């Protein structure tokens, strides 16, 4: 459960840093830049994350294990999960952040635990006791309430909403597939992350960007001030994302998909807290936001707790 909470906190950090990157001039200077920003930034984000994961596994001498895992059925299914969670889910997430803002984008996309919990029930036979469903619904009501906080500027609601659906279904399905794959001894959480991020970056670079004719724009981001400010910012966001995924996959391995997703949803509340503390965004400091943030954090943790299991351990 601790790993799941840390995964949520580090993803909130990633959300805010990515929001800063998306607000920089290379992504908002022209209509083409605005259109390609979610795809170019997601490609760079996952590519840098794959590099960070490669360094992590390389230092630990695990790169050969990654190659061996790809030869297994579970390893190939992790690659499939990468396509669903990356090009589909991550693009939706960036669309949500780009059109709803960092805090609200994070909140809106946080509905994926509900979808993932249902899928985990049917495909992984993970039981959700009635009280955990109640807590999950209350947590998601907090998410819904946060999206209606006053003084929040949403630039394009419907595009953000489409992104939210892509993100929710993509990440929900991904978590269920990963939970099944890490049951194989050949696929640890660190190896799964390496496969996931590398596959996602390759799909973006080899398929999506060429289709959108976005390579010219993406390569232009490495010129001038982009190389000095924008690219390091995205790389920093990717570092936070890599840490988040490591903790998230560890939680999935140890307590299952549905509980891990309920804990990971706390990133929506952490994003609001960090926006207030770091960026002094006082528009979020109102009764609705405070109550809903607490609801997301508290009920999300309660939704992940199996009280019968805790009583047995005691």
* DSSP class of 109: G
Classify residue 106 by burial, with Cβ atoms within 10 Å: 0-12, 13-18, 19+: buried
Residue 131 has a pLDDT of 82
Residues 6+ away with beta carbon under 8 Å from 267? 7, 8, 9, 11, 12, 15, 106, 110, 244
Mean pLDDT per block of 10 residues along the chain (314 residues) reads: 91 90 88 86 93 94 90 92 85 76 61 76 76 81 65 70 83 86 88 92 93 92 86 95 93 86 80 83 77 82 66 50
- Rounded to the nearest angstrom, the gap between the alpha carbon of residue 294 and the centroid of all alpha carbons in its chain is 20
> Which candidate, 20, 67, 44, places its Cα nearest to that of 279?
20
Pair 42, 98: CB distance under 8 Å: no
Take residue 303 and report the two structure tokens written for it: 């939704």
> What gap in Å lies between CA 125 and CA 166, rounded to an integer?
24
Would you list the DSSP string of 126-178? ----HHHHHHHHHHHHHHHHHTT-TT---S-HHHHHHHHHHHHHHHHHHHHHH
pLDDT digits (tens, 9 = 90+) for 174-198: 888 988 898 888 898 899 999 999 9
pTM of the entire predicted model: 0.82
pLDDT digits (tens, 9 = 90+) for 109-154: 667 777 777 778 777 777 777 887 888 788 777 776 766 554 455 6
pLDDT digits (tens, 9 = 90+) for 263-283: 887 887 888 888 888 878 777
Residue 168 has a pLDDT of 80
> Which candidate, 80, 61, 78, 41, places its Cα nearest to that of 208?
41
Hunting for tokens 């895992």 — which residue is that?
Answer: 69
What b/e string do you get for 156-190 counting C-beta neighbours within 10 Å, with b at 16 or more?
Answer: eeebbbebbbbbbbbbbbbbbbbbbbbebebbbbb
């Amino acid at each position: 459960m601790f790993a799941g909470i840390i995964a949520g906190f580090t993803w909130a950090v990633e959300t805010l840093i990515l929001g800063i990157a998306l607000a920089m001039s290379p992504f908002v200077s022209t209509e083409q830049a605005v259109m390609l920003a979610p795809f170019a930034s997601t490609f760079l984000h996952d590519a840098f994350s794959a590099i960070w994961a490669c360094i992590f596994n390389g230092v630990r001498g695990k790169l050969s294990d990654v190659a061996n895992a790809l030869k297994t059925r579970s390893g190939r299914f992790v690659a499939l999960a990468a396509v669903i969670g990356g090009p589909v889910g991550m693009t939706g997430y960036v669309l949500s952040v780009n059109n709803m803002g960092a805090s609200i984008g994070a909140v809106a996309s946080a509905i994926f635990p509900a979808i993932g919990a249902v899928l985990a029930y049917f495909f992984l036979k993970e039981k959700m006791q009635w009280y955990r469903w109640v807590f999950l619904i209350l947590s998601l009501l907090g998410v819904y309430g946060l999206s209606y906080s006053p003084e929040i500027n949403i630039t394009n609601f419907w595009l953000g909403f489409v992104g939210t659906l892509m993100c929710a279904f993509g990440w929900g399905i991904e978590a269920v597939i990963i939970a099944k794959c890490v049951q194989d001894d050949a696929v640890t959480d660190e190896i799964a992350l390496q496969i996931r991020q590398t596959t996602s970056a390759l799909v973006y670079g080899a398929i999506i960007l060429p289709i959108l004719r976005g390579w010219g724009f993406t390569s232009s981001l490495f010129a001038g001030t982009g190389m000095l400010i924008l690219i390091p910012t995205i790389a920093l966001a990717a570092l936070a994302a890599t840490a988040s995924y490591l903790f998230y996959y560890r939680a999935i391995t140890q307590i299952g998909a549905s509980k891990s997703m309920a804990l990971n949803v706390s990133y929506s509340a952490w994003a609001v807290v960090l926006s207030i503390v770091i960026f002094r965004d006082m528009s979020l400091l109102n009764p609705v936001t405070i109550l809903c943030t607490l609801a997301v954090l508290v009920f999300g943790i309660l939704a992940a707790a199996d009280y019968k299991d805790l009583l047995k351990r005691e």
